[in-house]
Amino acid sequence: MGSSPNALYQYAGFVLDRINTVFTRIRHNRSAILSLATSCLIIASAHGYAAGVNSNVPVSADSHGAPLSVSLQSIIPSDTSSLTEQSAWHEKSRDLTPQPRPDFIEAWGGEIVDIALPTNRPALSAILPESAASLTEMVRRETNQELLSEVTVTMAKGDTLAKLLARGGAPAQARSAISKALAVQMDLRRLQIGTKFTLGFDSDEAVTALQVHVPRLKRSGLSGRDGAYLDLFALKSEELGGWISLKALRPLSSQLVQSGNIIDYSLYRSASQVKIPPTTLDEFVRVMGFSVDFQRQIRPNDQFELIYEKTVDALTGTELSSGELIYAGIILSGNKIEFFRHVSATGKTSWYDRNGNSAVRTLMRTPVNGARLSSGFGVRRHPVTGFSAMHRGIDFAVPKGTPILAAGSGVVESSGWNGNYGKYIRIRHNSTYKTAYAHMSRIASRAVVGRYVEQGDVIGFVGSTGRSTGPHLHYEIMVNNRQLNPLTVQLPTAEGLPDSERDDFLASIALLESQISDTPFRSHSKKAVEQAALDK
């Protein structure tokens, strides 16, 4: 571009043309607003050019679909009717150059900066073909051949691809051809144990196809709903002169399940009634176990709600995950406790309450799997002993052999027979806190004096050793060497939600809550709970 006025006018003409196109498009679709932004930028740069300012703004005009930066967005009038009015300005101005600048340009007070217009990264689904429900179907689609049988083998420890293929029935020649074809698509040294391989055989019993079921590709967000699987194929095609490899996307479909119940005899029984998968309930109990004593704190009409995610292979309908917990809530005597799963930017999963406080405490209130504990009020046969001057701990009535978990991480300080306590373990967590466990039937081998145990490690099994009337766990929390009531002692929580993750976390909660129904549990008030109980 020269610096003569003519060149400038020519350039302005180009810009106006561009605006005209954009205004026409606005009537059709919203993405045109993006182009308008680019045009504004160009006009602004033209203005800078006319005033003798050296601007670095790129004059490349094509940015359809590119995300807008905030500063660009701020110059776009939010009301499209005003854009239509301005297009009237444009119709008149078309043959009247030079022109005063349009209003919306004047409204832009921002400085011209070096903006690299982002290019669109295409979605995987746009690059990769969709996988097929079975290898037979894939072979039919891609090479127009028929398979007679399929054999699936699983990568075991110490396996190489060659060993695995041999086990599946592939002869040496095919094994090396397959390896060569697959190596184009993936690093064969990184095959994970447990990866499944399906070999396909034709009517001559020759191997002509292979499918690698690559484990989960990615997860993100609160529920990880963007997940997808990759399939890798090696197919023998005479037309293409041998083995070729191909990547294909296996889409997942996810379903949120919202489920809850009133707790009667035990959480376990109430959860079974509404068909909550056992592993989902275990996770619920693990998350809640830091805050709740499932034996003593459950009262008539208490209730729980959980939200979990079922992932299904969209091509075959096979259930891939039985139910990953993403929300855990419980109402105890009218008080609601709730936690949300959060996956951090680095992929770490944590549980927080609405305010970002961690669900995890330095010590658990219930150091056994609480799901199978029967709530105190429903129990007649086992007296459940509380905390008193005579009894300086809490008893959990659980069957003999139930695993006992380390309530917190720490060093085993005492392990072995201890008089009336029977088989006994004491863990020192820090200079303030210790926990003790008594009447065990057996002490786990890792729980030796001086050894460090992690929170949740199994340290022994419930029994009735020492002075005990029946199988139960006697549990003590010691603060500065004094036994305090585990039910009421204040326990420090683990580190809360980092500030940098707060916006993501709150957005995830809002998204989740927009997708689920408003149950009496969710719109909880004391009255609602009582009414729900009456209705039942």
User: Interface with Zn ion includes 439 (CB under 5 A)?
Assistant: no
Q: Which of 264, 305, 324, 395 binds Zn ion (CB under 5 A)?
A: 395
Q: How far apart are CA 72 and CA 40, in angstroms?
A: 9
Binding segment (CB under 5 A) for Zn ion, from list 31-39, 62-70, 389-397, 420-428: 389-397
3-state helix, strand, coil in the chain (%, to 5): 30, 25, 45
Q: Give least dist CB 456 to Zn ion, A.
A: 22
> Binding to Zn ion (CB under 5 A): which residues in 474-513?
474
* Complex with Zn ion: residue 247 or 423, whichever CB lies closer: 423
* Complex with Zn ion: residue 370 or 393, whichever CB lies closer: 393
Q: Give least dist CB 498 to Zn ion, A.
A: 40
H/E element, 321: strand 319-332
β-strand pairing of 433-443 with 473-479: antiparallel
Three-state SS for 211-242 is EEEECCCCCCCCCCCCCEEEEEEEEEECCCCE
> Binding to Zn ion (CB under 5 A): which residues in 307-336?
none
Count of residues that interact with Zn ion, criterion CB under 5 A: 3
Binding segment (CB under 5 A) for Zn ion, from list 7-15, 310-318, 333-341, 387-395: 387-395
Q: Give least dist CB 295 to Zn ion, A.
A: 12
Phi, psi of 433 (to 5 degrees): -105, 140
* Complex with Zn ion: residue 215 or 386, whichever CB lies closer: 386
Q: Give least dist CB 394 to Zn ion, A.
A: 7
Q: Give least dist CB 423 to Zn ion, A.
A: 14
Q: Give least dist CB 475 to Zn ion, A.
A: 8
- Kindly give, in sequence order, each residue whose CB lies less than 8 Å from that of residue 396, ignoring residues fewer than 6 positions away: 295, 366, 368, 373, 384, 462, 472, 473, 475
Q: Give least dist CB 409 to Zn ion, A.
A: 24
* Complex with Zn ion: residue 37 or 368, whichever CB lies closer: 368
Torsion angle, alpha carbons of 496, 499, 503, 508, to 10:
-20
Binding segment (CB under 5 A) for Zn ion, from list 167-175, 198-206, 261-269, 386-394: 386-394
CA distances from residue 57 to 6, 8, 66, 99, 213 in whole angstroms, order as listed: 21, 16, 16, 22, 47
> Mask of contacts with Zn ion, 341-380, x by CB under 5 A?
----------------------------------------
Q: Give least dist CB 474 to Zn ion, A.
A: 3
- Note whether 221 and 229 are within 8 A (CB): no
Binding segment (CB under 5 A) for Zn ion, from list 27-35, 87-95, 394-402, 444-452: 394-402
- Mark out the alpha helices in 267-343 (DSSP H runs): 267-273, 278-288
> Binding to Zn ion (CB under 5 A): which residues in 451-480?
474
CA angle 347, 349, 354 (to 5 degrees): 120
Say how many residues make up the chain. 536
* Residues binding Zn ion (CB under 5 A): 393, 395, 474
